[in-house]
């Protein structure tokens, strides 16, 4: 039997959450009703009051409610609720979290859910679940279920959806999750244009007894990798595909934000970094490319994806950015430079082959990189077998260096 937190704005949606809690109880689990409302009194009896939630976040709820600014209250609860539920989960007081919400409720509850670890059961029934859920899900594993009708009263549609939600969250807490093994975990970044390299390196690392988690460098993938590294679930990083920085710098659609390439440095993890796919910026269909880029070199990856070749000036800026990020790394770090091309289409004979632009990146990176960081030049493209082998072997060496350092 598990304890499932049922969190919501119980001043306006109390009866709906009570119905959901009752269906969970019928399935043999306990519930913990948590109120994050900031309007009138809760419609139902609660287990954790809004005042307790606010205190967990160090907030003066009375003062907030007195000002009467709903937006301010929602934002405050979205700061406090994550701290409360993270504490409950850490203490083993809850094994799952479910909520029903409109705009404000979804904002608060999803913020709380994002504070929970990957694999912790979390389900959001929302009026917003059929639109752009990225602001609510972020890089977490929140399950979003469309409410179909507004979360405003009980009717045959809402009862159906809320009952399905009860079945879903109880099923999630009941399922047996494989226990993590004793193998060290490597986070690796990959793109279609570096697939062969990462696949070959992964085979070598797995043969050495490591588990490799591959993240697609599409913006959300890079953010997810950074978050997982922050969570202390990773032992080493194989950051072959740093392409998201090209989108961040130039204005493409797959940026992972300015924090990309920082988590591994803060964590002091053994790392490999390569400038994979920094020869391209990602856009949508050809007609979506901003007019200011007219005259640049493009490659139509598919009807929905247009790639633009980074020029020498942009590559030099990217080299300096990478150096700035890597200079902060505290763990064993090796930088690998593929002199024969940064991607499949950047290799000899490919449409993005531009040795001068690549050289601008390499030179700027080397010029700004602090002393003591190992740099290996390889006279091959990034997808050549020898590059993958060198990356894997360098990471294994860095893991040994880290282990030796810890032992002394």
The DSSP-derived string for 161-172 is: HHHHHHHHHHHH
Band (pLDDT 50/70/90 cuts) for residue 52 is very high
CATH class of domain segment(s) 185-407: alpha beta
Residues of the chain with CATH 3.40.50.12020: 3-174
Q: What percent of the chain is modeled with pLDDT above 90?
A: 88
Query: Residue 45: its pLDDT value, please?
Result: 96
Confidence of residue 180 (pLDDT cuts 50, 70, 90): low
Q: What is the pTM of this model?
A: 0.81
Give me the pLDDT at residue 72, please: 87
pLDDT of residue 64 exceeding 90, the answer is no
In whole angstroms, give the CA distance from residue 239 to residue 212.
12
Tokens 């194989």, located at residue: 238
Per-residue pLDDT at 327 exceeds 90: yes
Indicate if the pLDDT at residue 181 is higher than 70.
Answer: no
Q: Which candidate, 79, 102, 143, places its Cα nearest to that of 8?
A: 102
Residues 166, 353: contact at Cβ < 8 Å? no
Element (H, E) at 388: helix 385-407
- pLDDT for 359: 98
- Kindly state the average pLDDT of the residues 299-324: 97
What percent of the chain has a predicted confidence (pLDDT) above 70?
99
Give the pLDDT mean for 206-224: 96
Residue among 274, 312, 309 at smallest CA distance from 293: 309
DSSP-assigned letters across all residues of 258-290: TTTT-HHHHHT--EEE-BTTTTEEEESSGGGS-
Is the confidence at residue 408, as pLDDT, over 90?
no
pLDDT tens digits, 217-230: 999 999 999 999 98
**Higher pLDDT residue, 74 or 159?**
159
Taking only the tens place, the pLDDT of each residue in 80-115 is 999 999 999 999 999 999 999 999 999 999 999 999
What is the tally of helices (H) and strands (E) in the chain? 14, 14
Q: Give the per-residue pLDDT at 407.
A: 83
How many whole angstroms from its chain centre is CA 233? 13
Phi-psi region of 297 (alpha: psi -120 to 50; beta: other; left: phi over 0): beta
Q: How far apart are CA 201 and CA 393, in angstroms?
A: 9
Asked if 239 and 264 count as a contact pair (C-beta separation under 8 A), the reply is yes
pLDDT score at 151: 94
Q: Return the number of other C-beta atoms located less than 10 Å from residue 285's C-beta.
A: 12
With cut-offs at 50, 70 and 90, classify the pLDDT of residue 179: low
User: What is the CA angle 190-194-333, rounded to 5?
Assistant: 65
Best CA proximity match to 203, nearest among 238, 251, 235, 158: 238
Range list of β-strands (E), 231-366: 236-239, 271-273, 280-283, 298-302, 305-309, 333-338
What is the per-residue pLDDT across 254-301, written as a single tens digit (0 to 9) for each? 999 999 999 999 999 999 999 999 999 999 999 999 999 999 999 999
Burial 327-364 (b: 16+ CB within 10 A, else e): eebebbbbbbbbbbbbbbbbbeebebbbeebbebbbeb
Specify the pLDDT at position 74.
87
| Domain ranges in the chain with CATH number 3.40.50.12030 | 185-407
**pLDDT over threshold 90, residue 182:** no
CA dist., res. 158 & res. 117, Å (int): 29
Q: pLDDT for 112-134, tens place per residue? A: 999 998 899 999 999 999 888 98
| Burial class of residue 179, CB neighbours in 10 A (0-12, 13-18, 19+) | exposed
Rounded Cα distance, 270 and 398, in Å? 5
**4-48 confidence digits (pLDDT tens):** 999 999 999 999 999 999 999 999 999 999 999 988 899 999 999
Instruction: Write down the mean pLDDT value for the chain.
Output: 95
pLDDT of 406? 86
pLDDT band per the 50, 70, 90 thresholds, residue 177: confident
pLDDT of residue 208: 97
Q: Give 331's DSSP letter.
A: S
Q: Average pLDDT of 66-79?
A: 85
Beta strands 143-146; 96-101: pairing state: unpaired
Q: Which CATH superfamily is domain 3-174 in?
A: Uncharacterised protein family UPF0261, NN domain (3.40.50.12020)
């Amino acid at each position: 039997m598990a304890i499932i937190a049922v969190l919501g704005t119980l001043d306006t949606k109390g009866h709906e959450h009570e119905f959901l809690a009752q269906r969970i109880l019928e399935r043999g689990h306990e519930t913990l009703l948590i109120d994050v409302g900031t309007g009138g009194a809760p419609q139902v009896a609660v287990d954790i009051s809004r005042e307790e939630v606010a205190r967990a976040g160090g907030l003066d709820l009375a003062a907030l409610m007195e000002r009467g600014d709903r937006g301010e209250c929602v934002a405050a609860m979205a700061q406090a609720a994550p701290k409360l539920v993270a504490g409950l989960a850490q203490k083993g007081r809850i094994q799952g979290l479910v909520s029903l919400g409109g705009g404000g409720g979804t904002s608060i509850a999803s913020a709380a859910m994002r504070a929970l670890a990957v694999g912790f059961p979390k389900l959001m029934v929302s009026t917003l679940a059929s639109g752009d859920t990225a602001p609510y899900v972020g890089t977490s594993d929140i399950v979003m279920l469309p409410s179909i009708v507004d979360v405003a009263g009980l009717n045959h549609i809402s009862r159906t959806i809320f009952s399905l939600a009860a079945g879903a969250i109880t099923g999630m807490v009941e399922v047996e999750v494989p226990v993590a093994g004793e193998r060290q975990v490597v986070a690796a970044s990959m793109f279609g244009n570096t697939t062969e390299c990462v696949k070959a390196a992964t085979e070598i690392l797995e043969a050495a007894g490591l588990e490799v988690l591959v993240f697609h460098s599409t913006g959300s993938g890079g953010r997810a990798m950074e978050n997982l590294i922050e969570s202390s679930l990773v032992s080493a990083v194989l950051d072959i595909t740093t392409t998201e920085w090209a989108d961040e710098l130039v204005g493409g659609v797959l940026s992972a934000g300015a924090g990309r390439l920082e988590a591994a440095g803060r964590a002091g993890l053994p790392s490999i970094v390569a400038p994979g796919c920094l020869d391209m910026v990602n856009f949508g269909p050809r007609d979506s490319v901003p007019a200011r880029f007219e005259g640049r070199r493009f490659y139509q990856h598919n009807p929905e994806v247009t790639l633009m070749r980074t020029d020498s000036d942009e590559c030099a800026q990217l080299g300096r950015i990478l150096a700035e990020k890597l200079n902060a790394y505290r763990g064993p770090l090796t930088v690998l430079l593929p002199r024969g091309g940064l991607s499949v289409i950047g290799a000899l004979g490919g449409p993005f082959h531009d040795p001068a632009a690549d050289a601008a990146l390499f030179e700027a990176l080397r010029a700004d990189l602090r002393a003591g960081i190992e740099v290996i030049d390889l006279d091959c493209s990034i997808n050549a077998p020898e590059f993958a082998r060198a990356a894997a072997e360098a990471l294994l060496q860095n893991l040994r260096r880290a282990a030796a350092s810890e032992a002394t």
